[in-house]
A = this chain, B = another copy of it.
Amino acid sequence: MTVTADRRALLTGAAALAAGSVFGFRPGPALAQSGDLPAIQAAVAAGKDASTARIQDWIRNPSIAAENLNMPEGAEYMARLARDAGFSDVEIIPTDGHPGVFGVMDVGAPRWLAVYFMYDVKQFDPAEWSSPPLEAALVDKEGFGRVIVGRGAVNQKGPEGAFLAALHALRAAGKSPPVNLVLVCEGEEEIGSPHFRQVTTRPNVLAALKKCEGVFIPTGWQSPSTGAVTINLGAKGIIECELTASGAAWGRGPARDIHSSQKANVDSPAWRLVAALSSLVSPDGNTPAIEGWFEHVRDLTPRERELIAASAEANSEADAKRALGVQTWIDDLPWRQSLERLASQPTVNIEGLVAGYTGPGGKTVLPGSGTAKLDMRLVPNQTVDDCLAKLRAHLDAKGFPDVEVRFTGGYNPTATAEDSRIIRAQKAVYDRAGAPSTLYPRSAGSWPGCVFTDAPVGLPAGQFGLGHGSGAHAPNEYFVIDSTNPKVAGLDGATLGFVDFLYEMASIS
């Protein structure tokens, strides 16, 4: 640890735990009746410092697929974490990209549950951080308590570390998990999981997954103002790609950057990029205009609209706007309609633009090429393959056959039934913990749940976790360790939440 522990904060946390006042934790009947609880609670408390240090050390060892940074090392690290937590038959599984990791914990329980981990993190620019992104410093954050600041803190090493803490606590308490576990991990989540299907469809991995009730990824997304969590019944899919216009491919314009005075008689690939981009969306940039893009888009069902309406009621529009730094939604939509749009609409977003001279001041060049980094969110029943084909056909039809589309990653939308055990178990644990939960038809973000929900795996898939962090993909990402906010769980509460979730999955009808 690079920061001297604040003894007062630790003592306060310990006192709170001793007094049984860990964030709203009330065990379910299965856990309560097991008689295991006192020993587990003591083990969670005793293991907290080690669990915190485990998350910090993991953050200090980042793997970034987009930069090909420490990928084999990250897989080895992940495998070690799995073995340390009690998984056996842990394997590093090579793919055509970066490796996955697989492990099993067969305790002879009647039911099986799968857990999905990502061991990679998003890129970062240290200059933008107030605490170094790889230091994983413990700092006091006003309104939250003691938090870890670092890349991956909430996305996803903190919540994954809390789940590992639950397994360590069970073992320390002399207990086996109440369900058998399958662990599948990938290192390419942040680049669109291009090879994860190669992991889940390996015969031994697929056979293990097929036994499971469902699969979940550990999360820690409680609202800081209400403690609320959203139970997503699915997520949008995504295509990430780069659109490039170049003189070389076009046969017009320069093959490389030339002096800008030539613009009067030489065509510009940068302007061609702008024209090609303009054709992809409505003039306001908000609706895809790619030919046939909405062909397979299905409208929200009445039940989905009902769920969104309930979510709009349960969540604060002002909080959401403040968190995002926005003053108004698209088309000045009211809150509920903005959420319907968020859940139901496919998008074509510019992640980044790069052409010519990008440094300080100007430089009189006519660039030889220009690139837009795009991400496109897909909704049921769009698919990556169909949409990529439509994008290519659209550019060809609009007169841009030379504009290159480089697909860098993505996956289909995913959906899980509201009445599946994994969804109902989440709700039960959240309810007991006093965390208001709202069922939501579809996350606007993406996760590779389709790898599980699509054939051949065909499992219900979801996200679960108490606790809180924020700043995924942004500077100063954090995860709460010692919560001073009565609405959100700290690491201990999140850990006990995972224990309760395992007991619930073992016993739910």
Contact = CB atoms under 8 A, between A and B. Distances in A.
A434 interface: no
Nearest to A64: B361
Contact of A362 (B343, B375, B444): B375
Contacts of A122: 363
Interface residues of A, number: 94
Contacts of A345: 264-265
A325 B258 contact: yes
A353 B350 contact: no
A26 interface: no
Contacts of A505: none
A191 to B, nearest CB: 6
Contact of A368 (B256, B325, B329, B375): B325
Nearest to A270: B350
Interface in A69-83: none
B354 A66 contact: no
A110 interface: no
A388 interface: no
Contacts of A325: 247, 254-256, 258, 368
B285 A274 contact: yes
A377 interface: yes
Contact of A251 (B253, B328, B338, B363): B328
Contact of A363 (B268, B364, B473): B473
Select the residue from A265, A286, A367, A472 with max chain B CB neighbours within 10 A.
A265
A509 interface: no
Nearest to A337: B265
A270 to B, nearest CB: 4
Given A265-B333, A361-B67, A373-B362, A260 B351 contact: yes
What 10 pairs across the A-B complex have the smallest Cβ distances? A271-B285, A66-B361, A255-B325, A352-B356, A270-B350, A261-B445, A263-B349, A263-B347, A353-B355, A352-B357
B265 A338 contact: yes
Interface string A435-451: 00000000111100000
Contact of A474 (B66, B257, B343): B257
B247 A326 contact: yes
Interface in A268-327: 268, 270-275, 277-278, 281, 283-286, 324-327
Interface string A227-242: 0000000001010101
A333 B252 CA distance: 12
Given A252-B327, A270-B353, A274-B274, 14 more contacts: A66-B362, A251-B327, A253-B326, A255-B326, A261-B347, A262-B444, A264-B344, A264-B345, A267-B330, A273-B353, A274-B277, A275-B285, A351-B363, A352-B365
A273 B264 CA distance: 23
A98 to B, nearest CB: 13
A426 to B, nearest CB: 21
B265 A285 contact: no
A356 B347 CA distance: 17
B367 A352 contact: yes
A30 interface: no
Interface string A412-445: 0000000000000000000000000000000111
Nearest to A355: B353
A353 B354 contact: yes
A266 interface: yes
A33 interface: no
A265 B286 CA distance: 8
A203 interface: no
A360 interface: yes
A341 interface: yes
Given A191-B362, A352-B363, A355-B352, A324 B444 contact: no
Contacts of A271: 281, 284-286, 350
A198 interface: no
Select the residue from A236, A278, A324 with max chain B CB neighbours within 10 A.
A324
A341 B266 CA distance: 10
A366 interface: yes
